[in-house]
Structure 1
Amino acid sequence: MKLSFQDYISIKIHQTDLNLTKFIKSKLEDFNLAPEQNLIMMLLWEKDGLTQNQLAEKLDKDKTNIARMSSNLEKKGYIYRAHPKEDRRSLMLFLTDSGKELGERVIPVAEEFNDIVCKGISSDELIELERLLTKINQNVQEQ
């Protein structure tokens, strides 16, 4: 039996991703933050002083994209970049006071976003969803 367009799990995941991105984009608009820039900020609010390489690895993004987004965040005054003494080839990202203050306003928005997205989904279902998404990612990476 041939699958219809709506039967492909990849289409459902893609549509979900588009909806999530559109929703968080609207929530972040007032903060002058793009969703991908917010991912960098979320990691820095969790642990300040990460290298661009660490961010690229954690976000599974190429280093060029991380460098571009970091430059934009620096222009906005949210971060500054510095070379560590022990490795002049590496660049570390640090929050400015403005970036720290932004976190106090954006983290509650991110938490509300997570609550909205997970509404009506049990802890067990979230664990199962994470397990299934991990399996799908592994299947794709094995190809």
Structure 2
Amino acid sequence: MNLTFQDYISIKIHQTDLSLTNYIKSKLEPFNLAPEQNLIMMLLWEQDGLTQNQLVTKLNKDKTNVARMAWNLEKKGFIVRSHCPADRRAMKLFLTDFGTELGEQVIPIAEEFDQTVCKGLTEGELAELDRLLSKINLNVTHSLS
């Protein structure tokens, strides 16, 4: 069976990812927040004081990438970084008042985004989509090792 460009599931996933990224990027632009930076902020709005290593694990990003994003967020005044008293090598991230206020504006946008993405999908379809995306991610991860 010969697949056409549009038949490749990887192409469809990539196109969907671009569409999602462009949408959220346009919504976050007025707040001087990139989509990747927003992922860190979302985790901090959920649980302030996470370490950079915890963010690395939760986001499945490399340490350098997370450190760079944290530095940029600190430069923008959204967070402060401080050394963990128990382990001076560990860096904890805390929201500033400005970062907390930002959450009051951005969290509703994230919720609206999620509603837009999930519009018309049943609970069962969402569960199946989650299962399938996890399986695809596992396939790719295992092929890299």
Q: TM > 0.5 between the two?
A: yes
Q: Name the structure 1 match of 2:61.
A: 61
- The CA distance in 2 between the partners of 1:141 and 1:110, in whole Å, is 27
**How far 1:142 moved relative to its partner?**
1.5
Code of the residue aligned with 1:116 in structure 2: it is: T
**How far 1:89 moved relative to its partner?**
0.4
Q: C-alpha deviations, 1:64-96, integer Å up to 9, x for none?
A: 010100000001100000011110000000000
Q: Name the structure 1 match of 2:38.
A: 38
- The CA distance in 1 between the partners of 2:113 and 2:5, in whole Å, is 29
Q: C-alpha deviations, 1:28-65, integer Å up to 9, x for none?
A: 01110000000000000000000001001100100001
Q: Name the structure 1 match of 2:3.
A: 3
- The CA distance in 1 between the partners of 2:127 and 2:85, in whole Å, is 42
Q: Name the structure 1 match of 2:139.
A: 139
Give ranges in structure 1 of 5+ residues lacking alignment: none
**How far 1:141 moved relative to its partner?**
1.4
Q: Name the structure 2 match of 1:28.
A: 28
Code of the residue aligned with 1:94 in structure 2: it is: F
- The CA distance in 1 between the partners of 2:131 and 2:83, in whole Å, is 38
Secondary structure of 2:89's aligned partner: coil
Please report the RMSD computed on the Cα atoms of aligned residues, expressed in angstroms. 0.5
**How far 1:19 moved relative to its partner?**
0.2
Give ranges in structure 2 of 5+ residues lacking alignment: none
Normalising by structure 1, report the TM-score.
0.99
Code of the residue aligned with 1:37 in structure 2: it is: Q
- The CA distance in 2 between the partners of 1:53 and 1:84, in whole Å, is 12
Q: Name the structure 2 match of 1:99.
A: 99
Normalising by structure 2, report the TM-score.
0.97
The 5 Å alignment of 1:56-135 reads 56-135=56-135
**How far 1:129 moved relative to its partner?**
0.1
Q: Percent of pairs identical after alignment? A: 72
